[in-house]
Amino acid sequence: MPAPIDSSPAETSAETSAALNLDDIALPDAIQRVLAAQRAEDSKAPPLDPDALESTLLLVDLGRQRDRVQGSLLARVCGQGDRRHRDGAAEPASATDSAALNGALRELRGQHKLLAACARGSGGMLACVAHMAQTGNVGVALNVDLLVTGGDGVSDGRMDSGEVKNWTQQVSGRRAEQTLRALFSEEAGAVLQIRTADRAAVMQVLRDHGLSRCTSFIGKTRPQAAATDQGKGALTIWRDATQIFGATLEQIARADFDLSSSGGQAQSDATAKRKPETREEKIRALKMGL
């Protein structure tokens, strides 16, 4: 029987209790610092399955969208004093939630519907996905729309609508802060890789275990064997049908990408690519962004 996944958040230090000023942290800089710190910690993550031509990533968020970042790796590498963001540190999952997650994973493995799973820990969801992608040599397009708008991707059905919506007009500000919280919070939980064709069946298993409302579809993979070249060998992050970050897996492995070059792949919110305008551009962006 597979060992249960440890979904508890990483241990925190009292030295990082000072609040973060997320307003002053650029996304590429945060990613570079966190991944560099992860390299120093010699973090291990199971690889994404490179043989699945069409697979989807899910986040089971046992923190249930609290997204607290105090005491996180992000706090240790970018910590600043700002009481506006003093929201406490992530806490361990309840015994009920931990048992539910491990029960769901056992059932999914038994049904051969789970390709890979990694506990969200030090560095948050971003570090987890980055290491899984790099070790499996599988490109990933992450989409944070549901995570920053408070949706779950299940009860509201937005992920299956097939429409590109202007979420910016529907949700209040603080998009950059919400994105950082979603990517780097170390709340208990796990990232799962499943076949895209199994989405409905997997969600039913998670629903049976009481986890569907804290589960979101967060991305798609682009393995080397995929027919389409776009997205291979890269990690991209999308929000509002716009790519807000991109780097090759080689850059991710080195935690080294050019933060100053406007022509490079690494981008911040301020230098993000223009939003798609034509119908064809929107369809292409939707496919890559999830």
pLDDT higher at 233 or 91: 233
Give the residue-averaged pLDDT of 83-93: 62
Sign of CA dihedral 262, 268, 269, 275: positive
Domain ranges of the chain: 46-150+175-257
* pLDDT reading at 133 higher than 70: yes
The answer to whether the CB of 105 falls within 8 A of the CB of 113 is: no
Which of the four pLDDT bands, split at 50, 70 and 90, describes residue 245?
A: very high
In this structure, what are the phi and psi dihedrals at residue 122, rounded to the nearest 5 degrees?
Answer: -60, 125
* pLDDT reading at 183 higher than 90: yes
* Dist. CA 72–CA 224, nearest whole Å: 33
CATH number for 46-150+175-257 (one of 3.40.50.720, 3.90.650.10, 2.60.120.10, 3.90.1150.10): it is 3.90.650.10
Nearest to 248 by CA among 18, 94, 68, 35: 35
pLDDT higher at 209 or 156: 209
